[in-house]
């Protein structure tokens, strides 16, 4: 449910990595409150992710880096506000966060959060702190229970584990949609076109969490209104050609037009096979033909 550009007097706050079914429950409930109040609702999130600042020695892998997260939040009808998460911000007192960020910027009538919501320095802000602060100011707070999935509570960490392990069907159940990646098409070596299978080489944010290397059937779609097209994608280092860094390249079946510099989604569907080093280009071409056939069978059987 979208409330358009009306001022947002309902907010929900979080990292929202993945914008999974648990997050969608928050967004849906915020939209219901906004409809009742005839106003907009906002999703307040952070960049970079708090973990990247709080644990700088670790790589912070993301299900939905930057623009991907904004895309899915806006698709849910939210007005998205991105707050810079800096070391100084991380040290902010919880009540200062509520007063200086939440109240001064949004003047909310309703705040919707999950049961495990924390905020402020050392996560000292809790749902109990939020409720007490809001009660004194006449602000309504609704706290939602966790959303259960097929294998337990829906969470970003659970989805990350599933994607990392290649359990994409399980990840899809928690996301409510296929796992996908958004990238800009960059010029490559043109080898795919030479082989008869032109590919779109997608540049991905360096923190984008990806499934195991291999060949996948799925769907590709241009960000700006393009048709969804059956595709076969290779994710990895291409053993035949020793790619120095991992690359996602998608062959859009039946598409020959130039896609350079366009932004493309790839939705992961079915894992087809692991990467291989073939004896020569003829064997590689035969394998790609078989990949395309299997992708078409997969699509026909869905």
- Helix, strand, or coil here: 278? coil
Token pair, residue 173, equals 């159940």
The pTM assigned to this predicted structure is 0.93
Share of the chain above pLDDT 90, in %: 83
Where do the domains of the chain lie? Answer: 8-156, 179-301
What is the total residue count of the chain?
302
Domain 8-156 sits in CATH at: 3.40.50.620
Q: What average pLDDT does this structure show over 251-260?
A: 90
Query: 3: pLDDT confidence band, cut at 50, 70 and 90?
Result: very low
Distance of alpha carbon 31 from alpha carbon 261, whole angstroms: 35
Token pair, residue 145, equals 């229970």
Q: What average pLDDT does this structure show over 113-141?
A: 97
Domain 179-301 sits in CATH at: 2.40.30.30
CB-CB neighbours of 78 under 10 Å: 29
Token pair, residue 139, equals 């602000």
Whether 8-156 shares its CATH topology with 179-301 is answered: no
For residue 285, give every residue at least 6 positions away whose Cβ sits within 8 Å of its Cβ, in sequence order, or none: 195, 196, 197
Tens of pLDDT along 28-86? 999 999 999 999 999 999 999 999 999 999 999 999 999 999 999 999 999 999 999 99
CB-CB neighbours of 186 under 10 Å: 13
Check residue 109 and give its pLDDT: 97
For residue 49, give every residue at least 6 positions away whose Cβ sits within 8 Å of its Cβ, in sequence order, or none: 15, 17, 60, 62, 85
Distance of alpha carbon 48 from alpha carbon 90, whole angstroms: 12
Strand segments, DSSP code E, in 156-236 are 180-186, 200-203, 214-222, 229-236
Given a cut of 70, whether residue 1 has pLDDT beyond it is no
């Amino acid at each position: 449910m979208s409330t358009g550009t009306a001022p947002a007097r309902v907010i929900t706050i979080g990292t929202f990595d993945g914008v999974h079914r648990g997050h969608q429950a928050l967004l849906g409930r915020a939209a219901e409150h906004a409809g009742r109040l005839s106003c907009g609702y906002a999703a307040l999130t952070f960049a970079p992710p708090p973990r990247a600042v709080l644990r700088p020695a670790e790589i912070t892998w993301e299900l939905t880096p930057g623009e991907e997260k904004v895309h899915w939040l806006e698709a849910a009808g939210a007005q998205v506000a991105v707050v810079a998460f800096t070391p100084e911000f991380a040290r902010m007192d919880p009540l200062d966060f509520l007063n200086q960020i939440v109240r001064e910027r949004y003047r909310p009538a309703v705040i919707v959060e999950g049961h495990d919501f924390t905020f402020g320095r050392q996560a000292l802000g809790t749902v109990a702190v939020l409720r007490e602060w809001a009660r004194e100011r006449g602000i309504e707070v609704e706290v939602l229970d966790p959303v259960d999935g097929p294998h337990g509570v829906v969470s970003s960490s659970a989805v990350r584990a599933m994607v990392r392990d290649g359990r994409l069907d399980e990840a899809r159940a928690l996301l409510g949609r296929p796992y996908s990646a958004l990238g800009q098409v960059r010029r490559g070596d043109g080898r795919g076109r030479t082989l008869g299978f032109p590919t779109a080489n997608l540049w991905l944010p360096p923190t984008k969490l990806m499934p195991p290397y291999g060949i996948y059937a799925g769907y590709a779609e241009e960000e700006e209104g393009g048709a969804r097209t059956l595709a076969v994608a290779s994710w990895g280092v291409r053993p035949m050609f020793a790619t120095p860094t991992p690359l996602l390249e998608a062959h859009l079946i039946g598409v020959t037009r130039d896609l350079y510099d366009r932004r493309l989604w790839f939705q992961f569907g079915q894992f087809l096979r692991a990467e291989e080093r073939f004896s020569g280009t003829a064997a590689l071409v035969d394998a790609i033909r078989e990949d395309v056939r299997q992708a078409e069978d997969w699509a026909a059987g869905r």
